[in-house]
Chains A and B, each alone.
Chain A
Amino acid sequence: MRQLRAFVKKEFTDQLRSGKLFILGAVFLLFGIMSPATAKLTPKLLELVAEQDSGFKIDVVREVTAVDSFDQFFKNISTALIVFVILQAGIFTKEYSSGTLLLSLTRGMVRRRVIAAKTLTLVLLWTAGYFFCFGVAYGYTAFYWDVSAVPDLFEAVMLWWIYGLWYISLIVFFSVFISTAVGVIFCVGAVYLFYSLLGMIPRVGKYLPTYLPNAGSLTHGESLSFTVPLAAALSLIVLLLAASIPIFNRKQV
């Protein structure tokens, strides 16, 4: 337990001093503000364009609501996730290439605790960043619109959070084989691509983890089932993390 805590503390010191924590904070804050702001400003911008350009007449068909703001949030958060993956893909590989892991391991750091500590660090960062981003977006949205009418918001938010956890397990899994951050990013991207292609097969798509980001549509009142993709994502997470340990135990550093 103490080993784990010391290692997590070390990871956070790194995140802080390398400026990654700051970048993540800024990105999540930005997207948190942007989501309601875009929803609020888009119709105004359109009106402005319409007034200046007398040739066109744009009808603002319907009133902007909290749902539009959350739509923007679910759109933006995928960009934030990409930034997160790119920023954190080197969390293991950096230690291989610099050789810093060697001394920790010869000091008796248990290998599976290295995995545990780094996974925990990523989960904490993602969770804090994600809910911070959502919190900001929710705050602004509640300020401008009525949020009580948005259906299934909680489910949608939780499903998207788990979607992010799946990417963390992919980073960890690929990091036990691959020795460069670029390689890890490439593999995570390849997995996304693979599932997206698989998802194009009719009737298969809605059972894959890559279906989870559609959770945003729940707030439109659509009745979609996420049971299978959720179960798929959760079991993949467990499987990937569990498989990482024996492979990492045999890895030569």
Chain B
Amino acid sequence: MSLLEIRGLEKSFSDKQVLRGLDLNVPEKSIFGFIGKNGTGKTTTMKIILGLLKPDSGEITVAGERVSYGQTATNRLIGYLPDVPEFYPFMTCKEYLYFCGEISGMDKQEIKSRSAELLEAVGLKDEKHRIKGFSRGMRQRLGIAQALLGRPKLLICDEPTSALDPVGRREILDILVRASQETTVLFSTHILSDVERICTDVAFLNEGRVSLCGRLSDIRRSYRSDSYIIEPENSEGLAALQKAFPQLREKNGTLTFRDSELSPFELMAFISGHKLPVIKFEREEPTLESLFMEVIGK
């Protein structure tokens, strides 16, 4: 069952249509990467899920419950980390978490034990200073702690790693992986290597729609099945192959084809029959980047 379902979401800002019928299913217990270039509407989508923006049309359910704009009851199921999280600068992180727990109606003891556990997990256990002086990375980590405080079913993080250096990014990704043991994680990003590192599911957002969506392993497999690369050792080999198989496409000394166009076995037979030296003959493992480029038609 999908924890989060979005159907036909549309949203315009003045004359600019940002979302044009977006559909999305986020399965329970997934780490879901919501991928899109800057300005494609990731933040807009997330704000609509949280009832912070009113969609022009479309329907969203969280755990089967409809999301409404304004007073949004479904938010009790969601932990949210905005793209630029802002906390009361005059508080310490412990005080802030306590405040968060109180306004969401948590039990006093539960707030205390849960905050201690989360601050430990995000590495802010010994931080006694006020939030005023926190770095970006510390703010992101506190942001994740506050989002996880109420043990939400769904954790939504808006570009949690974008503004961080590689070490900070690594830390945040590790925290998300650990969080995924008890909750479903939906995070947006334009950094594909982050997705490859931790996501189980992905959706590509392009021109206001989700153009590709599913389990990362399935997507990889379905794209993998049909693309091959051959790299002959020398130009004679390259020329011989091109002559014998005009379907091959050449690019910087490598040849590519799909098995719908050509049987790989036939090609292998030809290579071994002519004793052509090759450096590489492989079934292409598509990188997310190549998938992404293909999906958005570049």
Whether B87 and A100, one on each chain, are in contact in the complex, defined by CB atoms closer than 8 angstroms, is yes
For B81-121 the 0/1 string (1 means CB < 8 A from A) is 01011111111000100011011110000000000000000
Residues facing A in B33-78 (CB within 8 A) are: 50-53, 70-72, 75-76, 78
> What is the number of residues of chain A that contact chain B, defined by CB distance less than 8 Å?
28
The CA-CA distance from A194 to B90 in the complex, in Å, is: 38
Across the interface, A250 reaches (CB within 8 A) one of B70, B80, B85, B146, namely B70
Contact present for A98 and B76 (CB under 8 Å): no
Indicate if A99 sits at the interface (CB-CB under 8 A).
yes
CB neighbours (8 Å) of A250 from chain B are 70
The answer to whether A220 has its CB under 8 Å from any CB of chain B is: no
Known: A102-B52, A103-B82, A250-B70. A13 touches B90 (CB 8 A): yes
Given A18-B90, A103-B146, verify A108-B84 contact (CB < 8 Å): no
Contact B76 A10 (CB under 8 A): no
Q: Smallest Cβ distance from B94 to chain A, in angstroms?
A: 13
Interface size on B (CB < 8 Å)? 30
B87's nearest neighbour on chain A, judged by CB, is A100
CB atoms of A99 and B86 under 8 A apart: yes
Question: With A and B bound together, what is the CA distance between A103 and B102 in angstroms?
Answer: 13
Q: Which residue of B lies closest to A249 (CB)?
A: B70
Q: What's the minimum C-beta distance from B186 to chain A, rounded to whole angstroms?
A: 14
- Please give, as numbers and ranges, the residues of chain B lying within 8 Å of A102 by CB-CB distance: 52, 82, 86
| Contact, CB under 8 Å: B88 / A14 | yes
Least CB distance from A93 to B in Å reads 14
Q: How far is the CA of A17 from the CA of B95 in the complex (A)?
A: 13
Residue of A nearest to B81 (CB): A103
Q: Kindly list chain B residues whose C-beta atoms are within 8 Å of the C-beta of A2.
A: 102-103, 105
Which residues of B approach A to under 8 Å, CB–CB? 50-53, 70-72, 75-76, 78, 80, 82, 84-91, 95, 99-100, 102-105, 130, 146, 150
22 of the cross-chain contacts (CB-CB < 8 Å) are A2-B105, A3-B102, A6-B102, A7-B103, A9-B99, A10-B88, A13-B91, A17-B90, A17-B130, A18-B90, A98-B89, A99-B86, A102-B52, A103-B82, A103-B85, A106-B51, A106-B80, A107-B104, A108-B75, A108-B76, A111-B70, A252-B52
